[in-house]
Structure 1
Amino acid sequence: MNSSLKLVLLFLSITLFISCGNADDDVNYALNTGDGFGEGQSVDKCLDLGENDLILSIQDQYTTDPGKVSIFFKVSSSDGSPVSGLTADQFTIYEQGRNDDCFNTISTSESNARISPNEQIFSSNTLLILDLSNSVLSGSLEELKTASTSFVNTVMPATTQESYKMAIYWFDGEDILHELNPLTSEKSELTEAIAGINKDISSDVSTDLYGAVIKSTDKATELLNASTQGEKIGAASVVIFTDGKDQASRYSKDAAQKKVDSADPNISFFTIGLGGEIDTEALTAIGKTSSEFAANKEELEDTFNKISDLVSERASSFYLFEYCSPKRGGDNNLAIQVQKGSLQGAVQTKFNADGFTGGCE
């Protein structure tokens, strides 16, 4: 290869490196906690909104005639914690058309801005995985049933919604993840299934914890894939309870951890441990989203409640924000800012207003 050709190739390589390395207009809002799967742009500096304390992660967006703009996104704090309970009046809309030097504020009341139900485009599935080995059945079954019922009542909406579903499975020492109740949006089905657990449900005294981790991750993956068909967006949570270490030795700890670590980032993992015989280090690693431990069975319900609050908040941190735009043509920049107390965050995107007319409600 002659020297002139080498110089050309070197120049092209440097140019490619610089062009890729400086593409900082596109900000990936994926969080390192294993969830948050959207992208957006950092907001133009002309707005001078300051640093983001809250992260808005756009999942999907679309327009509907005669002039409605819909943005589906997730809100998290800077440390990855979900932010739920936001209302339309906490959002500020900024638009920038082709003739605008910077963004103009759009009145949320005049634009009919609202937080809309997201059942049509979002699906949340929760898998509750219970250790029903001999030590639980003989020592803490009633407390587990009470705690599990409380978990269901917290995570599932007060009124039945098809976008929120849960299934319950259990494990002992067998190479099976037993189904206690299939995926359902009916809270009563789940609580009745829990009430029906008795001491004779298992005849295997061992604990196949790592097998349960692997199998439940596979099931969550299948549910996520099925629930995101037809342009739906989905998230799943796996919640595993145990009062001991893996005794079956059928699967390795490394295999279980690898399964969790390589799972879809939209699957959250929670673990709950009871008593002094658990491997807290292993459970913390498996419960990479969050883990809680109860020293005794009397603390079990409170421990379950801590996890159920997190699962519920995570599902409730997705928002479908809609408003009627005054734009009537062309590509336009859109920035959405949210404020919660002293915290704020914003994200920028684009939409096309060709064909927009009045009459949007």
Structure 2
Amino acid sequence: MSGCQFDKEAGTEPSIDDANAPHSPSPENNITGVSTVVALKWQAEAAVRYDLYFGESYPPNIIYADSLSEPSYLLTNLKPSTTYYWQVIAYFNDGSKIAGPIWSFTTTAAGQNTAAGYVLKLYKIETAEPSDVRILLQALDLAGKGVTDLQPSDFEVFEDGEPLSPSESQLSVIKKEGINYKLRTVLLLDNSTSLKDNIDEVRRAASEFISNKYAEQEIAILQFSEQTEKLANYTSDTDSLLRSIQRYQTGYSSTDLYGAVIEGASLLKDVFTADSVIQSFMILFTDGRDTQGSHSLSEAVNSVYNKIVFAVGLGQEIQPAVLNSIGTAGYYPISRVSELNSKFEQIKSEVDKFANSFYLISYKSPKRGDKIHTLMVRIKNNSYNGDGSFVLGTFNSRGFYSK
């Protein structure tokens, strides 16, 4: 970043000589007490797209989102009492790019972000003849947990700033049961020699998790110590998975924890369309730390950004800060392996809320002609009116007709 000077200890914002560099950050640089749900915003005149670097390390070396068309990005489920660093790279029509300053903010303490309300995340807007508009979104509470009980009457839809009549537009809201929804799960299980006395109990807990899975849920099983071994590819066949988990056996003393996380994360692929949703998450279980040194923590954390990972750590040898960084959806410490089954059940409950928090809104638009229209969706009487309290997008009514 030529022309940039930054004194991290002093906490001052760097100066960048180029007037076109990203500037005017929101939240303000170095601010504290930021909600765990926040929209990052900035300005960069004449820029056509942006890359966002974001993370807990300085400088932020993880591309959290790339090729953004708007100077904003909504973040949910951030960790409390955590300092985050972020940087925006602006790209221009002539092929040039300019890196902005590195900004930071610190989230509010745990338990202080308890206000009621809803956050909406937009995944897809699609149109179809004769005049159908479909919006796939997700509803979360302010702690980033899925909201599952919203009804069609709870939503308001606006076209070009005007409210739609639910009856005239034939507005409907479909939950997960009406969407072609597939849940994929990676079980990533430590099998290093330190677990030799607990292998059978871990296998039993994993077997019970498999036996209680949803019918549409596909599971892949990996075990790791010196190397990562795939015991089962994604399948929904319960009997096949139960046979595969019997191959979970004691491995070696060397533990490539970070390499295993990277390999497991590579299997997490999500697809969001109005016709199909594939949602994936990973459960990591370990009783220790990375002893091999083949990969770095930053590589492991980089691999799980924007992905759903639950980390379960057993005993005194674990590093809570490490597992907290890897466990993007939560870190669950246990003191005895007998607690593993209850933690799997707790995670299953969280996943169930997340999976059932998707809503497909469908209606017939009165718009006609080759024109771009704005679309906004919000929840009636939402007590939260901050970042993410509504979703905003556009659609083209080209080809729309009455039938």
Q: Normalising by structure 2, what TM-score?
A: 0.63
Q: How does 1:54-73 map to 2 (within 5 A)?
A: 54-73=118-137
Please state how far the C-alpha of 1:233 moved relative to its aligned partner: 6.8
What residue number does 2:170 align with? 111
Q: What do residues 255-313 of structure 1 show as CA deviations (whole Å, max 9, x unaligned)?
A: 44212332364322221012233222322222233110112123221122222323343
| C-alpha distance 274-71 of structure 1, shift in aligned 2 (>3 A) | same
| C-alpha distance 124-110 of structure 1, shift in aligned 2 (>3 A) | same
Name the structure where helix makes up a greater proportion of residues: 1
Which stretch shows the higher mean deviation, 335-344 or 234-243? 335-344
Maintained 8 Å contact 2:43/2:71: no
Q: How does 1:186-335 map to 2 (within 5 A)?
A: 186-194=237-245, 196-197=246-247, 201-217=249-265, 219-220=266-267, 224=269, 235-246=279-290, 249-251=291-293, 255-263=295-303, 265-329=305-369, 330-335=371-376
Maintained 8 Å contact 1:245/1:277: yes
Maintained 8 Å contact 2:120/2:138: yes
SS of alignment partner, residue 125 of structure 2: strand
Maintained 8 Å contact 2:20/2:44: no
What residue number does 2:111 align with? none
2-side partners of 1:304 and 1:298: how far apart?
A: 11
Q: How does 1:43-62 map to 2 (within 5 A)?
A: 53-62=117-126
What residue number does 1:145 align with? 203
1-side partners of 2:21 and 2:282: how far apart?
A: 45
Which residue of 18, 22, 43 maps to 1:20? Answer: 43
**Equivalent residue pairs, number:** 305
User: Could you list the runs of 5+ residues in structure 2 that have no partner in the other structure?
Assistant: 1-17, 25-41, 47-69, 80-114
| C-alpha distance 296-193 of structure 1, shift in aligned 2 (>3 A) | same
1-side partners of 2:20 and 2:284: how far apart?
A: 49
What residue number does 2:184 align with? 125
Match status 1:181 vs 2:232? yes
What residue number does 2:154 align with? 90
2-side partners of 1:265 and 1:205: how far apart?
A: 28
What is the aligned-residue RMSD (CA, Å)?
A: 3.8
Match status 1:75 vs 2:139? yes
2-side partners of 1:83 and 1:340: how far apart?
A: 15
1-side partners of 2:263 and 2:372: how far apart?
A: 47
Which residue of 192, 196, 220 maps to 1:167? Answer: 220
1-side partners of 2:123 and 2:319: how far apart?
A: 37
Please state how far the C-alpha of 1:205 moved relative to its aligned partner: 4.4
Higher relative contact order (Cα pairs below 8 Å, separated by 6+ residues): 1
SS of alignment partner, residue 78 of structure 1: coil
Which stretch shows the higher mean deviation, 344-353 or 13-22? 13-22
Q: Percent identity?
A: 26
Larger Rg: 1
Please state how far the C-alpha of 1:224 moved relative to its aligned partner: 2.3
2-side partners of 1:145 and 1:347: how far apart?
A: 43
Maintained 8 Å contact 1:123/1:234: yes
1-side partners of 2:255 and 2:184: how far apart?
A: 25
2-side partners of 1:126 and 1:276: how far apart?
A: 27
Maintained 8 Å contact 1:113/1:324: no
SS of alignment partner, residue 106 of structure 1: coil
1:133 partner amino acid: S
What residue number does 1:6 align with? none
What residue number does 2:37 align with? none
1-side partners of 2:363 and 2:305: how far apart?
A: 30
1:337 partner amino acid: R
2:292 partner amino acid: R
Please state how far the C-alpha of 1:127 moved relative to its aligned partner: 1.2
2-side partners of 1:75 and 1:232: how far apart?
A: 18
Q: What do residues 114-165 of structure 1 show as CA deviations (whole Å, max 9, x unaligned)?
A: 216443xx765321101123343423522x23432343456x43x33xxx53
User: Could you list the runs of 5+ residues in structure 1 that have no partner in the other structure?
Assistant: 1-11, 35-50, 97-101
What residue number does 2:58 align with? none
